[in-house]
Amino acid sequence: MNVCVIGTGYVGLVTGAVFADLGNDVICVDNDKEKITRLKKGVMPIYEPGLEEMVQRNVSDNRLRFTTDIAEAVKKSEVIFIAVGTPPKENGETDLSYIEAVAKEIARSIDRYKIIVNKSTVPVGTGDFVRNIIQTNKQRDVDFDVVSNPEFLREGSAISDSLYPERIVIGAPNQNVAMALLELYAPLERPMLITDVESAEMIKYASNAFLAMKISFVNFIADICEKAGADITQVVKGMGYDSRIGSAFLQAGLGFGGSCFPKDTLSLIQTGRKFHEPPALLEAVIAINEARISGFVRRIEKRLNPLSGKVIGILGLAFKPNTDDMRDAKSLEIIALLRNKGVTLKVYDPIAMDNAKSLLGDAVAYCRNAYETAHGADAVVVVTDWNEFKLLNLDKLKQEMKQPIIFDGRNIYSPERMKKMGFEYISIGRR
Ligand code: NAD
Ligand code: UGA
């Protein structure tokens, strides 16, 4: 099939590469000229395991190419995916201006029947919004359909999530268009749900908000455990044996960051309000999440009081492991609060250093590894649960430090082992 993907970011580039790998002819479009120029030279705009190899393979086999020319891409394609950003507005509502701009450009170029598939995360009703824009702006008397096909990939495992998705949701306005999408995804041999456009749009928000709710729930329980002398890892293990609960996505820590859970939960709150459904549950999810970092920094301050003049090493800057994405990363919040209190910060991340530098400038000292970060530090703080940090030589780390205090925001070490090794070890929801 001839496919184009408009928006060549985390979702668009991975989607384009995977569809090409399945044998389709794919054009990835972006209005960021520099991004497209670099992609044409084989330079990836993001770090994502397995992406570069897949892109290279499909470019050299002539199944994948990159352009800034939407009109040409639309004309050449039967199926047009929209994968542009849908950031939050100040009040939490979803900003649909990128979607609107793309819909207008599609309308200008559409010259025969096309299937337009919305892969961006958009509030319920956006399918209609896109259809109306194209209908009123199209310059030729041609037919088209608008489908909702939400994306569930996670950064850091985007390629395997796209090759082996747990489900593929297709919200289609009629049977024929559903069949066309089914055919496109058929080679993956994964479970597919064919539904209406509105339900597909809701499935995405309900899924993300539910996962965010699990995280805030476990963090609330972890805070009680900490005060009551219980151990959150034991509690989650005990809960997880109940097959109705399970133990996935109940990792207590510094809360959820990234470009999706915070914005999508806020957006669903606004949708609740729009339909006069009180969003108290989701407001609590956000409130618990927003209090995580101030609470954690208070614990650091209590132990190291006064913070002014202290040196702290930060391990991990990306919002989660296996990505270089710094959007809504917890490290940024922690660093801002500690800096305000007069702390000197040394930081290290295995992959996100370049992105961090463009955001943090000379506010912190950049280190080449965890040991250099720990050198001369009054404490080390684990912010991102990279495997590299789980496998550190902790004796060596300890020798580098001024005093052996570790604040672990992701519970990556065993408290017993750390105590035995002579660390003062402060983690989340554990003694
Ligand atoms: P991104 O910011 O990485 O990429 C978006 C791209 O769209 C950018 O390269 C931008 O230049 C381009 N763009 C914007 N306007 C354009 C236009 N008019 N024409 C052409 N290109 C344009 O965003 P992302 O993280 O890939 O997210 C895209 C959507 O997918 C969002 O709705 C997001 O919520 C959703 N989503 C993201 C993830 C994820 O893990 N990042 C997972 C599932 C769903
Ligand atoms: C999330 C969803 O998992 C994807 O299914 C979805 O497609 C995507 O959002 C999206 O819509 O963009 P992602 O943001 O890449 O994916 O990362 P997650 O692995 O879900 O982690 C999100 C945040 O939650 C991270 O800050 C992580 O540290 C935190 N988290 C996750 C916890 O604190 N505890 C957990 O148990 C799991």
- Taking residues 209-236, what's their average pLDDT? 98
- pLDDT tens digits along 164-214: 999 999 999 999 999 999 999 999 999 999 999 999 999 999 999 999 999
What's the 302 CA to ligand 2 centre distance in angstroms? 30
Residue 400 — very low, low, confident or very high, per pLDDT cuts 50/70/90? very high
The residues with which 170 forms a beta bridge, in sequence order, are 194
Q: Return the best residue to mutate from 28, 29, 30 for the ligand 1 pocket (most ligand atoms within 8 A of CB).
A: 30
Interval 310-351: pLDDT, tens: 999 999 999 999 999 999 999 999 999 999 999 999 999 999
Mutation probe of ligand 1 site: the residue of 10, 32, 322 with most atoms within 8 A of C-beta: 10
Write the residue with the smallest CA distance to atom 42 of ligand 1. Answer: 153
Q: What is the pLDDT of residues 3-44, one digit of tens each?
A: 999 999 999 999 999 999 999 999 999 999 999 999 999 999
Average pLDDT over residues 224-241: 97
Query: From CA 277, how far away is CA 327, in angstroms rounded?
Result: 29
pLDDT for the residue 239? 98
| Ligand 1 centroid distance, CA of 120 (Å) | 7
Stretch 389-395: mean pLDDT: 98
Q: Is the pLDDT of residue 50 over 90?
A: yes
- Nearest ligand to the C-alpha of residue 258? 2
Helix ranges restricted to H, 138-231: 158-163, 175-185, 197-228
State yes or no: is 260 an active-site residue: yes
Length of the chain: 431
Which residue from 48, 11, 81, 95 is spatially nearest to 264, judged by alpha carbons?
95
Answer whether residue 63 shows pLDDT above 90.
Answer: yes
* pLDDT (mean) for 255-274: 97
Assess contact for 319 and 330: CB atoms under 8 A: yes
What is the phi-psi region of residue 374: left when phi exceeds 0, alpha when psi lies from -120 to 50, beta otherwise? Answer: alpha
Domain boundaries, the chain: 2-195, 226-431
101 CA closest ligand 1 atom index: 18
DSSP string, 234-249: HHHHHHHTSTTT-STT
* Confidence band of 47 (pLDDT split at 50, 70, 90): very high
* Residues forming a β-bridge with 28: 5, 66
Taking the CA of residue 323 as reference, the ligand 2 atom at the shortest distance is: 15
The reply to whether ligand 1 has any atom less than 6 angstroms from the CB of 10 is yes
- DSSP label of 41: T
Q: Is 222 within 8 Å of 429 (Cβ atoms)? A: yes
The rounded Å distance from CA 28 to ligand 1 centre is 12
**Segment holding 381, helix H or strand E:** strand 379-382
Coil/strand/helix, residue 302: helix
Does 415 sit behind a cis peptide bond, omega within 30 degrees of 0 on the bond before it? no
User: For the chain, what percent of residues have pLDDT higher than 90?
Assistant: 100
Question: Residue 426 pLDDT > 90, yes or no?
Answer: yes
Model-level pTM?
0.97
Q: Which amino acid is at 87?
A: P
Buried-exposed string 300-326: b where 16+ CB fall within 10 A, e elsewhere: bbeebeebeebbbbbbbbbbbbbbbbb
pLDDT of 237: 97
| Closest C-alpha to 411, from 288, 248, 231 | 231
Burial of residue 344, with CB atoms counted within 10 A of its CB: 0-12 exposed, 13-18 middle, 19 or more buried: middle
Task: Report the percent of the chain where pLDDT is more than 70.
Answer: 100
Domain 2-195, CATH among 3.40.50.720, 2.40.128.90, 3.30.1360.20, 3.10.129.10: 3.40.50.720
At 302 the pLDDT is: 97
Domain 2-195 identical in fold to domain 226-431:
yes
Closest atom of ligand 1 relative to the 121 alpha carbon:
32
Distance 256 CA to ligand 2 centre (A): 7
Residue closest via CA to ligand 1's atom 41 equals: 10
Instruction: Say which residue the tokens 């649909």 belong to.
Output: 96
Which residue's CA is the nearest one to ligand 1's atom 30? 120
* Rounded (5°) CA angle 237-240-246: 145
Residue that is written with structure tokens 């035995």 in the block: 420
Ligand nearest to the CA of 29: 1
Task: Name the CATH topology of 226-431.
Answer: Rossmann fold (3.40.50)
Task: Name the β-bridge partners of 382.
Answer: 315, 408
Per-residue model confidence as pLDDT tens digits over 77-118: 999 999 999 999 999 999 999 999 999 999 999 999 999 999
Quick check: helix, strand or coil at residue 250? coil
426: left (phi over 0), alpha (psi -120 to 50) or beta: beta
The pLDDT assigned to 373 comes to 98
Give the mutation target among 151, 159, 268 for probing the ligand 1 site: most ligand atoms within 8 A of CB. 151
CA of 192 to the centre of ligand 2 (A): 22
CA distance 14 to 49: 11
> pLDDT at position 431, please?
80
Q: What is the mean pLDDT of the chain?
A: 98
pLDDT at 215 over 90: yes
**Closest approach atom of ligand 2 to CA 257:** 26
C-alpha to C-alpha distance for 154 and 85, rounded to whole angstroms:
15
Residue nearest to ligand 1 atom 37, measured at CA? 11
